[in-house]
Amino acid sequence: MSSFQEIIASNTPTLVDFFATWCGPCKTMAPILDEVKKELGGEVRILKIDVDKNPAVASRFKIRGVPTLILFKEGEIVWRESGVFPKDQLIAKIRPFS
């Protein structure tokens, strides 16, 4: 298993979904992320990080609300926003970096 740092340092864009199991909007986001993965396949990696189980990572990226999505490319944050996004909007954010 690669470490979080190795994964986000990859040349493949990595979309990290910071979520919580008790969060309604996070549950709405889950199937949307599945659709994005199906459509983009190997163009993107999608990681889900439960903020309650990984408080150190959530704190490091100053996650204040969930869901928060952060797109990494070669270890750099190239996009970050909180909330629920439609599939097409997410794909539009990811495509320029893939």
- At 77, is the secondary structure helix, strand, or coil? strand
Would you say the C-alpha torsion 77, 91, 2, 4 has a positive or negative sign? positive
Q: What is the DSSP letter of 66?
A: S
Q: Could you give the count of Cα atoms lying within 13 Å of 71 in the half-sphere of its Cβ?
A: 18
Active site residues: 23, 26
